[in-house]
Structure formats: structure tokens, C-alpha cells
A and B are shown apart, each in its own frame.
Chain A
């Protein structure tokens, strides 16, 4: 019975996710469109509602090309490897007080551990394509994602210290008890988290791995059709996952005034995060490679460590 429930839940989340990604892309294009004094997609369906669906249809019907010089097995596997962990992390996300898959007592650890595997998909895709641009994109992508993994993890540690649990649900309950969201209690950590999350997602201004003006399209240059769609799916799924994680950690998860159910609050907060990323994409140019690394190792990581120390001291001092 449990197994059946799990299967149904997984399919439901997957279905929901596909819909969410479809409309996240539309949302992104609309947001960026209006910021760029144009209206974005508006041909298919009211308000361009079916634009992404049409795009996906196009991608699915395209010829499936695998370059002759590519490493076939890895090439085929890479998009799946990129997508699977991004989807797996949804297991520990608690959408509302009663709607969740796994009440895992190491939820934070699970999320961070599994999500860092998406990097493998980038590396495999870039390596197996046997394309110089892809390789450069993958090198950039992997070095960037490994580096920014550290501040991301460290920024979360402050919260873990305060709550005394790695369970994502406990973290939300803690925020309920205290009556304050962690964005206020852990503001520096929030900033560090946001910056490293953008780098983790390879989004602008840290979109160096797929810098179209330099590397054509980065690690997925050689991908087309369905496999390309899969990479895009992985990218947006991961973005939604990171947004959901941030909502849980910093924005009190499903908490909110009672006139709306918890899940609606959760989704609204997630949309807010997504909006911030789209907004940045419309505003900022691409950062320099050296600066990116320097910023990570010389600014973010020391700051995150400092935050942990201060949090620990406060925790002991206040006796929480």
C-alpha cells in the first residue's frame, strides 16, 4: 500500500512539475519580455499560454541527432543524469503541513547531497559531445558548481544549528514556534544562499557555462530535440527545487495567514524566488570567470563561516 501511494505521489509530482516547468518558462519569457519593453509570447492561446507546449512539441518531433564522434552511451545518459537528481530532491520537500513524501530526518543533507549530482550531467554532456565549446562549457560549469556548492551548504548550516535538526519539516515548525522566518534571523545566510543558488543553477549573471556569445551554447551545444528538451527540463526542475528549498528554509515554508491554504503560500513564495532570478537575468551582464571564483572563495565562504560562528555563539548565549 505504501509503495502504491509512493508511486502515485511521484507521478503526481512529476506531472505537476512538467506543468510547472512549462509555465515557469512562459513566466520567464513574459517577465523578461515586459522588462524589455515587449510583450513576450502572445500568439498561441490567450496570453501565449500554449507557446511552451508548442515549443516542446517542436522539440519532440525533431530528428534525434547524435554526433558521429560523440561517446554514444554517455551522450544519451547525460540528460537523464542531469534530470534525475533534480527531480529526486522533491521527495523531501513538504508542500504543506500534511502534503509531503518523506519525513526524512536528514532532509537537508539529502537535498544538498543529491542535488550536487546534477553537476555530473553537465560534465558528461560536455565531455561526451566531443565538441570544444561543450568541453569549455562543462569545465566552467563544473568548477563553478563545485565551488558554489560550499557557500550554499555553509549558508544552510546556520539554520541547522539554530533548529538543531536536519529535518525540513522541523525547520518550518521551528519558524512557526518562534514566529519569525529565517530570512530575518539569518539574513546574511539568505543573501549567501541566493547568490550561490544562482551560480548553482548557472543562471545570469553566473551563466558562464552556457555563455552564448562565447561558447555558443556551452555544454549542451550538440544536443537537439528531445535530449535538449530534457536538459531544459532538468535546468528548470532544479530551479524550482532550489526555490522550494529556499522557501522552506528562509520563508517559512507553508506558513502564512490562514485565508489561503498552506500549499498556495508555498507556491506563491516559490514564484517570488523564480521571479527574482528572471529579474536578474533581464538586468545583469555576465560576470568574469576569475571574479566568479574569487568572489566565491574570498567573500562568500568566509562570510558563511562567520555566519556559522556568530550563530553558534548566539545559540549558546541565548540558550535556545
Chain B
């Protein structure tokens, strides 16, 4: 006799612990196998792009902090760079170096949060606290220079807001050494663990074609064997002055993404070290940049992109010659990357759902903007 079975609709989120924010997945499960999945987003929608049109250019910078709040520096940068491109301004050397150092510190902090919370998702409790210990090293430094721990609001059009405090560069150098040792510790704690490997190897594979079709960027693309990193491909700021590699993996599974992100931590440390050696004295902001009400780019449009910790972040700005932007369009990597979720999850079980979803490393502030 056939037993009558039926699929069950499981509503994961918006308060489910594994969604890291207010993301909702409506999942049809047969036992534990996923038959259909429907992502629901928009719980954190704030209309950032529309808001931009009502503000003076500089006033929008704090809003970029709140897109990907784990990696606010790069958001700051890419917006400022777009406006600077419209203005065709030269940025002081020292400001560029400070930008790079803070962006890379922030990238490390962002990857560490991912590392900790991801392992928490797949059931390991301790790495989370180790990650946050080291993330705090980064945040302390960023706090010292910008006055905030997450939403920095540090960069300005034409430079940066604050110069580094006395001895800050030396402290960064020290912390880089500490971080490098601590990150080595992670490898021994997690990477070789068999349970961890069984949870991640071969799970959630993305092929090169899928990456290109869906416009996925960042560590996800690099884990599938695509050697693309805007810092190298189209060097912005002063990234062409540093010697660093783009870590890639061929497999495209969750484990490959893990390894890419860990390797990127070392590359970021390398960049910070070099930047700390090279940093010159000088101004931190152009003279014109200080008069924020008077920033009036000539009519025109500009697109800038940068490598955020989640992928390619882009800002498309249109100016009509006034001191407020006519239109700002944000390309948010988390939003683009999460789109593939539906295709990835069919046929997997709930346990893999968490492992795959976590590996995409999305931040809801950025998905919903």
C-alpha cells in the first residue's frame, strides 16, 4: 500500500537564525529534500537610491555605510570615486593610501565575520568568537581613525575626513603581524577538520558558465576558477602600486569559496603592509572638497566600480550641474549574487541549504538597499 505523502511548506525567515538578517525563504520540502524555493526580500528596503537625490553629494556618504554594513569603507570609496570622476579631481596621495589601508582592514573584518558566522551556521561554535576577537583588532584601528566601528562615514569627496592619529600606522603594522598569526590558527582549527570538509566539499557547486550567466562576482566567481578582481583588472585608487595575488580555486563548491576567502585575508594583509611602508606625508583632502555645499559636478554621468568583500560594487551617478545628484544607481554585489539561490537549492536538503546560503555571504542591508 502506498503511503500518502505530501510536501511541506517551510517558511524560513525573516527571523530564522540562519538568514543573518531579514531574508525570507519559502521552501517546499519533501522530507528534508527541497522541491521549490522562493526567496522573499525587501524587508530592509529603505529607498537609498531615491534618498540620494534629495541630499547634497556629501550627505549621501553615511547612507552608503548602511548598504553593506560589514564592508562600509569600500562603499564609501566607490561612491566618492564616482563623484570625483564627475568632478575630475586629483586626490592627495596620503588620502589614497589611507583609503586603501582602511578598505583592506575593512575587507579583513568582513571576511572574518563571514568566516565566524558561516561556521556557526554549520554548527561549530568556537570559530565565531575567534573571528570576532580578530575582527575587533581591525575595528579598533578603524574606530581610532574614523570614530566609528561599523558605519564609518570616513571618506569624503576629494579625500578622507580624518588624518591618522599619532602612531596609528605603527599600530596597524603590529596588528597585521598579530592577525597573520591568528589567521594561521584558523587553518589548524577548521580547514582540515573532516566533518567540516564533508559538509562543504562538493556542496553548492557553481560552474563558470553559471557565474557568467548570473553576473556573479567576487570570491564566488574566484572560487569557480574565474580570475577576476577589479583591483587587478581595472586598478582603481592606487591598487596598481601593490604586489598581491588573486587567489582562485577551480572547484566552485563551498569549500573552494572558503579557501578563497581565507587566502584573500593574507593578500589584504600584504597590501596593508606595503601601503604602511609607502604612505607619504601630505594633505588628506583637496581644498575644494572641504566646501561640501559647493561640490557641483558638471553635467554628465560616471560609473565607478570597486572590489568589495562580496563582489563588484558599482555606482552610476548622473549629475545635472546642481549640488545634488540627479540620479544614483547602485550595483550591489549581494543582491546580484543571491539571485542564483533558487537554482542552487533545488534537490538539496535543509542542511545544505544553510551551508550554501551562508557561503554566498550576503548582507541584507545591501540586498535590499
- Which residues in A have some Cβ–Cβ distance to B below 8 Å? 32, 35-38, 132-133, 136, 139, 204-205, 207-208, 211-216, 281-289, 291
Q: Using a Cβ cutoff of 8 Å, how many contacts connect chains A and B? A: 77
Chain A residues within an 8 Å CB radius of B196: 285
Cβ A285 vs Cβ B32 within 8 A:
no
| Residues A288 and B18 in contact in the complex (CB < 8 Å), given A204-B123, A213-B121, A213-B354 | no
Q: How far is the CB of A13 from chain B (nearest CB, A)?
A: 32
Cβ B32 vs Cβ A289 within 8 A:
yes
Cβ A285 vs Cβ B349 within 8 A:
no
Report if B340 contacts A (CB, 8 A): no
Could you tell me how many residues of chain B have their Cβ less than 8 Å away from some Cβ of chain A? 29
Q: How far is the CB of A151 from chain B (nearest CB, A)?
A: 18
Chain B residues within an 8 Å CB radius of A207: 123
**Cβ-defined partner of B125 (8 Å) among A32, A133, A291:** A32
- Assembly CA distance A289 to B29 (angstroms): 16
Chain A residues within an 8 Å CB radius of B231: none
Report if B167 contacts A (CB, 8 A): no
| Residues A285 and B17 in contact in the complex (CB < 8 Å), given A37-B133, A136-B350 | no
Chain B, residue nearest A217 (CB): B17
- Assembly CA distance A215 to B18 (angstroms): 9
Q: How far is the CB of B202 from chain A (nearest CB, A)?
A: 11
Q: How far is the CB of B255 from chain A (nearest CB, A)?
A: 13
Chain B residues within an 8 Å CB radius of A133: 10
**Cβ-defined partner of A214 (8 Å) among B8, B119, B126, B354:** B354
Closest 9 CB pairs of A and B: A286-B123, A285-B124, A36-B129, A213-B18, A213-B121, A285-B123, A285-B122, A36-B126, A282-B126
| Residues A286 and B195 in contact in the complex (CB < 8 Å), given A36-B129, A38-B129, A214-B353 | yes
Chain A residues within an 8 Å CB radius of B354: 213-214
Cβ B195 vs Cβ A287 within 8 A:
yes
- Assembly CA distance A172 to B199 (angstroms): 41
Report if B130 contacts A (CB, 8 A): yes
Chain B residues within an 8 Å CB radius of A36: 125-126, 129-130
Chain A residues within an 8 Å CB radius of B199: 285-288
Chain A residues within an 8 Å CB radius of B119: 285
Cβ B17 vs Cβ A216 within 8 A:
yes
Interface string of B83-95 (1 = CB under 8 A from A): 0000000000000
Chain B residues within an 8 Å CB radius of A204: 123, 125
Report if B120 contacts A (CB, 8 A): yes
Cβ B198 vs Cβ A284 within 8 A:
no
Cβ A211 vs Cβ B351 within 8 A:
yes
- Assembly CA distance A207 to B124 (angstroms): 11
- Assembly CA distance A287 to B198 (angstroms): 8
Which B67-126 residues have a C-beta within 8 angstroms of A?
Answer: 119-126
- Assembly CA distance A207 to B121 (angstroms): 13
Chain A residues within an 8 Å CB radius of B123: 204-205, 207, 211, 213, 284-286
| Residues A214 and B198 in contact in the complex (CB < 8 Å), given A285-B124, A286-B123 | no
Chain A, residue nearest B197 (CB): A285
Chain A residues within an 8 Å CB radius of B16: 216
Chain B residues within an 8 Å CB radius of A208: 351
Chain B residues within an 8 Å CB radius of A35: 126
- Assembly CA distance A294 to B81 (angstroms): 55
Chain B residues within an 8 Å CB radius of A132: 8, 10
Report if B193 contacts A (CB, 8 A): yes
Interface string of B333-369 (1 = CB under 8 A from A): 0000000000000000111011000000000000000
- Assembly CA distance A295 to B24 (angstroms): 34
| Residues A214 and B125 in contact in the complex (CB < 8 Å), given A36-B130, A287-B198 | no
Chain B, residue nearest A289 (CB): B351
Q: How far is the CB of B192 from chain A (nearest CB, A)?
A: 12
Interface string of B30-67 (1 = CB under 8 A from A): 01100000000000000000000000000000000000
**Cβ-defined partner of A213 (8 Å) among B120, B195, B349:** B120
Chain B, residue nearest A33 (CB): B129
Cβ B195 vs Cβ A205 within 8 A:
yes
Cβ A213 vs Cβ B198 within 8 A:
no
Q: How far is the CB of A289 from chain B (nearest CB, A)?
A: 6
- Assembly CA distance A288 to B354 (angstroms): 12
Cβ B130 vs Cβ A285 within 8 A:
no
- Assembly CA distance A223 to B169 (angstroms): 52
Chain B residues within an 8 Å CB radius of A37: 129-130, 133
Chain A residues within an 8 Å CB radius of B17: 212-213, 216
Cβ B198 vs Cβ A291 within 8 A:
yes
- Assembly CA distance A211 to B350 (angstroms): 11
In the complex, 8 of the A-B residue pairs with CB atoms within 8 angstroms, ordered by the A residue number, are A207-B123, A213-B17, A213-B122, A213-B354, A214-B353, A287-B195, A287-B199, A289-B32
Chain B, residue nearest A285 (CB): B124
Cβ A289 vs Cβ B349 within 8 A:
yes
Chain A residues within an 8 Å CB radius of B351: 208, 211, 214, 286, 288-289
- Assembly CA distance A24 to B186 (angstroms): 29
Which B184-204 residues have a C-beta within 8 angstroms of A?
Answer: 190, 193, 195-196, 198-199
- Assembly CA distance A213 to B128 (angstroms): 13
Q: How far is the CB of B346 from chain A (nearest CB, A)?
A: 17
Chain A residues within an 8 Å CB radius of B18: 213-214
Q: How far is the CB of B351 from chain A (nearest CB, A)?
A: 6
